[in-house]
Structure 1
Amino acid sequence: MSASSLAPSYAAVLRTRYACRTFGAALLGRLSYGMVSLSLLLAIKEATNSYAVAGTVMALFGLTSVFLSPTRAGLVDRYGPRRVLLPMAAAYALLLTGLAFATSWPGTSGILLGVLAVPAGACTPPLGPVMRTLWSGLVPERRLLQRAYSLDTVAEELLFVTGPLLVGMLARVAAPWAGLAVSAALVLTGSLALISSPAVRGWVGRQKAPAGPAPSEGLVDGVESAPLRRRLLQGGPGLRQAIAVSAAVGMCLGAFDLLVIAFADEQQEPEAVAWVLAALSGGSAIGGLVYGAVSWRASSRLRLAVVAAALGLTLAATGLSPHPYVLIAWAALGGLFVAPAITTAYLIADECASPATRTTAGAWVNTAFNAGSAGATAATGLAVGRLPLPVCFALAAAPVVLSAATALHRSRRPAPNTAALLELEAGRTPDAERQASVIG
């Protein structure tokens, strides 16, 4: 059934041809990402009996995975998922299996674990960015695409809640390294199922650019040169806004997790941490589903500014909570804006990028979020204990509010059509591209 013939709803998204099969395969593979961090941490701690080694190896794994994400997505944009995801997933699964085997022996060298963790992080398949690009092809109608992205964001968040629970269950019946083996099997199975979906058949990757623009100004063998990459990130205010707000949201949430722990310690109620974080995730799921179901008249950039400001101001107010129950309520309220902010950032990236760079644009938004989260966690660790907790909460929320204020100011200006600029720089006008698509 064609997506364009359906009334906009979540059921219509899932009834779209190949949607359930493709989305289910991507979720199966992405469940691995919800399990791998905790599995790796527990397995390394068990094998080395050292938190320092576990933290260092985790940092190496996380940094290579996060900062090479746009590069991996660029390979998918260039060659297509069928030629890239299979070797990438196979290498990633093999390295996770190697880590599982290495951590099954007590006293394993931390150096060996680091040597395995770095290439494993570098080979992490970009299943999330690939799925969001596939949504653009499956449901090209913008109202349905908004619902598809909301559904994708909420499902991904639930995976990162379910994953650690599965790791905990595995740890009770098996050794910690079993979580790594299961993660390897999930990502390989999910990736194979994804690339076998008919929805992937039409994605062949970018072809070599025709002769025309000079190498310094256009494409070189189908790959963006440095000026074109700068145009992608600097020439589109919408994409810059999405990346900036995504990084700020990541900073806010990364700091919030640590601040909740500090608050619970101060109140001498450590069990409150799980309830606060569950309230945040539950609020995010509800907010994402409601947000995706509404047909908005405001522009994506204006919506992103509003939900980001609401998120920042709400989470800043949590620092004034006199009791954990109040903090739980504020966290649930703030969570209502998390998934909408992330969903809108991905929608803007899709709007601003050309078809040949959609996966890379989405990966930049994802990378910004993860990098912001990691950096803020480290900075917050230094601030806690030196500043009052309400001040720490306010400082953690400040980047989101500031990014929203800047985005709100810029959203009043007419934005250039970034996709058209990319096509022009590649030596094709939008009209010529449309004619070519009709002829082909």
Structure 2
Amino acid sequence: MPPSYAAVLRTRYACRTFGAALLGRLSYGMVSLSLVLAVKETTRSYAVAGTVMALFGLTSVLLSPARAGLIDRHGPRRALLPMAAAHALLLTGLAFATWRPGASGILLGALAVPAGACTPPLGPVMRTLWSDLVPDRRLLQRAYSLDTVAEELLFVTGPLLVGLLVHVAAPSLGLAASATLISTGSLALVSSPAVRGRAGRKKAPAEPSPAVERAFGPQPAPVRRRLLPGGPGLRQAIAVSAAAGMCLGAFDLLVIGFADAHDAPEAVAWVLAALSGGSAIGGLAYGAVPWRASPRLRLAFLAAAMGLTLAASGLSPHPYVLVAWAALGGLFVAPALTTAYLIADECAGPATRTTAGAWVNTAYNAGSAAATAATGLLVGRLPLAACFALVAAPVALSAVTARRRSRRPAAVPCGCE
């Protein structure tokens, strides 16, 4: 089958499975804003709203690899449905608790922590299913690019839907809608024939792979257990993903500061839209190119280009020049994440694919959250141009990590170096 996006979607069961995953993942784009608005509405406190959201986000991000490990070990049908049911039930509880004014912040926090802990990893599961549905690596690159772009568009669409719901009803309705989406999408996903034959895999062996032994020599047992499932290649993908999350998480806040400094608050929406639009265009174009360079070299180039472009955007003399720079920098965002996921898939065995993809996703989200908090302390203390350069430095420097070759005499697949 000639490699194209149409060929990806024509793959047997692809549309049904991908559509179900996107339906459930739309909840991710809605739940954060819905939770903040609902808690603020009922408690009349930004501090409580921020604390509850932080509890929800931290448990969701930090426990993502553990939840993905359950999927790898027991299969989506046995592990995903209980997670989705618990998550939807807890979101419904938060919706009821925030429906009327005066809810206790302690109660809301007590519901938010397990709700975040049970967030079903639909993104990593779908990427694992793409590897099963599309064994051709050329088609898999297009499938991952399509998946990354679609997920980014969901995070643009979700807040817009929350805005419409808030306009006609209480913010807690957004939580109820998120619960409905995650439960419906998860149920539709596990009922797909693509999932039906995917039972739990045997637990990955504790011994390192021969490639790791050749690269680093015999490993003592405690070190073996601490190795990530993909070894050095996965660690490189995680490093770039975390740095990209730091850069983009801080960029949103810096754009607001830049717009305030130029007395042009309306430019914020245009800059962020340009970043998302550029990412979508870059992701689709990247997936359509039959690359000859190894994923390792592509990841190095994309990380360096993203960092340098977004660092230069801080020198913009006017907000609408920043729009152009943001669009240019966005061209490298989706391709970099797609490449990181491809490397994770190549480096992980069949028993750890979901976990490997979850580590890349966790690194991005954790980097974004940490950088947003740190950037809030920098704005106002340093010139904005220096802030832009400082937050873009990690992703530019991560290119060195992506290019580094492991110390081994024998060749392994290109993404696992």
Q: What range describes the TM-score normalised by the shorter chain of this pair?
A: over 0.9
| 1:172-251 equivalence runs, <5 A | 172-207=167-202, 217=207, 227-232=223-228, 236-251=231-246
1:157 pairs with 2:152: yes
Kept in 2, the 8 Å contact 1:232–1:418? The answer is no
Residue 42 of structure 1 corresponds to 37
Residue 15 of structure 1 corresponds to 10
Cα 1:246/1:413, change in 2 over 3 Å: farther
1:56 pairs with 2:48: no
Scaled by the length of structure 1, the TM-score of the pair is 0.89
Q: Secondary structure at the match of 1:7?
A: coil
Residue 66 of structure 2 corresponds to 71
Cα 1:191/1:132, change in 2 over 3 Å: same
Cα 1:228/1:204, change in 2 over 3 Å: farther
Deviation string, structure 1 residues 39-87 (Cα, Å, up to 9, x no partner) = 0000000000000000000000000000000000000000000001111
Residue 425 of structure 1 corresponds to none
Gaps of 5+ in 2: 209-220
Cα 1:326/1:413, change in 2 over 3 Å: farther
Matched length: 404
Counterpart CA distance in 1 for 2:17 and 2:138 is 20
One-letter amino acid of the structure 2 residue matched with residue 115 of structure 1: A
Counterpart CA distance in 1 for 2:4 and 2:132 is 17
Kept in 2, the 8 Å contact 1:236–1:418? The answer is no
Scaled by the length of structure 2, the TM-score of the pair is 0.94
One-letter amino acid of the structure 2 residue matched with residue 247 of structure 1: A
Residue 326 of structure 1 corresponds to 321
1:132 pairs with 2:127: yes
Residue 96 of structure 1 corresponds to 91
Deviation string, structure 1 residues 249-278 (Cα, Å, up to 9, x no partner) = 000001100000000010011111111000
Counterpart CA distance in 2 for 1:226 and 1:79 is 25
Counterpart CA distance in 2 for 1:118 and 1:243 is 25
Deviation string, structure 1 residues 345-376 (Cα, Å, up to 9, x no partner) = 00000000001000000000000000000011
One-letter amino acid of the structure 2 residue matched with residue 65 of structure 1: S
Residue 294 of structure 1 corresponds to 289
When the two chains are superposed, the root-mean-square deviation of aligned CA atoms in Å is 2.0
Q: How far apart are 1:414 and its partner, in Å? A: 6.8
Residue 356 of structure 2 corresponds to 361
One-letter amino acid of the structure 2 residue matched with residue 245 of structure 1: V
Cα 1:301/1:340, change in 2 over 3 Å: same
Residue 80 of structure 2 corresponds to 85
Counterpart CA distance in 2 for 1:411 and 1:143 is 25
Counterpart CA distance in 2 for 1:9 and 1:394 is 37
Gaps of 5+ in 1: 1-5, 219-224, 422-440
One-letter amino acid of the structure 2 residue matched with residue 230 of structure 1: R
One-letter amino acid of the structure 1 residue matched with residue 403 of structure 2: L
Q: How many percent of aligned residue pairs carry the same amino acid? A: 83
Counterpart CA distance in 1 for 2:109 and 2:6 is 45
Residue 433 of structure 1 corresponds to none
Counterpart CA distance in 2 for 1:403 and 1:50 is 39
Counterpart CA distance in 2 for 1:418 and 1:230 is 22
